[in-house]
Amino acid sequence: GAGVSQSPRYKVAKRGQDVALRCDPISGHVSLFWYQQALGQGPEFLTYFQNEAQLDKSGLPSDRFFAERPEGSVSTLKIQRTQQEDSAVYLCASSLEELVEGADNEKLFFGSGTQLSVL
Amino acid sequence: GNSVTQMEGPVTLSEEAFLTINCTYTATGYPSLFWYVQYPGEGLQLLLKATKADDKGSNKGFEATYRKETTSFHLEKGSVQVSDSAVYFCALTPPSPGGGADGLTFGKGTHLIIQP
């Protein structure tokens, strides 16, 4: 596709269930970010990949959150034993190049997100 | 730490009105500053950016000037249209070098509603 694709678009989970959220970045894109956007809030950084290497996972809120990008393309964000506070929109963004400077974030393309509701 | 504060919404204006959405930030040094827009059902899109003091970013009739002395990056448009209705986010990244992979710090967003 032409843009960053995320699936599913909506996910409803019962508390305690595991979920997996998928991000298909634009083909060939090196950099990939995951963000969490709670209702009424701005997106918050979760983790960053450069190709298959997870260079920064400092934003993951707990050890229940795990992200991978094994072949340097598709990425999956997994949340184990979901809690109600995990309810949010999860955004993926990718960039063709490595982001060196802050201004390089202008080259990011964002997906439409996965809306996760934990009941 | 870094933070961004922007005015609460929703902001409701009539078509052709003048728009200002206030944004102030807290960061050390000279961060890069951005405005993003999110239309219903779509992903975040970069609207404009500025990377150093007194820089003015502009796009689609929107403007914002990087004011170091007031740590502000207010978004303005002279005459809004119904199609400008969206949620607007102010954001920053840490100063270079190395600020690229640290991720964006966003404000909470301002919902703009333009009535015909």
Q: How would residue A50 be classed by pLDDT, with cut points 50, 70 and 90?
A: very high
Residue owning tokens 């779509």: B42
Q: Which one-letter DSSP state was computed for residue A100?
A: -
Buried residues in A48-61 as b, exposed as e (16+ CB within 10 A): bbbeeebebeebbe
pLDDT for the residue numbered B99: 60
How many whole angstroms separate alpha carbon A92 and alpha carbon A111?
6
Query: Residue B96 and residue A41: Cβ atoms within 8 Å?
Result: no
Query: Residue B101 and residue A48: Cβ atoms within 8 Å?
Result: yes
Measured between beta carbons, the chain A residues lying within 8 angstroms of B42 are 112
Query: Average pLDDT of B77-92?
Result: 96
pLDDT at B101 > cutoff 90: no
Q: How would residue B17 be classed by pLDDT, with cut points 50, 70 and 90?
A: very high
Q: Which one-letter DSSP state was computed for residue B100?
A: G
Question: Which H or E run contains B23?
Answer: strand B23-26
pLDDT at A94 > cutoff 80: yes
How many whole angstroms separate alpha carbon A60 and alpha carbon A54?
12
Measured between beta carbons, the chain B residues lying within 8 angstroms of A99 are 100-101
Residues facing residue B34 across a β-bridge: B49, B91
pLDDT at B72 > cutoff 90: yes
**What are A11-41's pLDDT values in tens digits?**
999 999 999 999 999 999 999 999 999 998 9
Report the residue from B94, B97, B103 with minimal CB separation from A100: B97
Percent share of chain A, pLDDT over 90: 87
Report the residue from A45, A102, A110 with minimal CB separation from B99: A102
pLDDT for the residue numbered A106: 78
pLDDT at A104 > cutoff 90: no
pLDDT at B96 > cutoff 70: no
Percent share of chain A, pLDDT over 70: 99
pLDDT for the residue numbered B102: 76
Average pLDDT, chain B: 92
The answer to whether A74 touches A67, Cβ cutoff 8 Å, is no
Return the number of other C-beta atoms located less than 10 Å from residue A14's C-beta: 8
Nearest to B108 by CA among B2, B7, B13: B7
Query: Average pLDDT of A84-92?
Result: 97
Higher pLDDT, B63 or B40: B63
Query: Residue A45 and residue B102: Cβ atoms within 8 Å?
Result: yes
Q: Which two tokens stand for residue A65?
A: 């959150």
How many whole angstroms separate alpha carbon B31 and alpha carbon B91?
10
Pairing of strands B62-65, B75-77: antiparallel
Nearest to A49 by CA among A29, A69, A28, A77: A69
pLDDT for the residue numbered B9: 86
Higher pLDDT, B43 or A44: A44
Average pLDDT, chain A: 93
Q: Which residue of A has its CA nearest to B30?
A: A102
Q: How would residue A1 be classed by pLDDT, with cut points 50, 70 and 90?
A: low
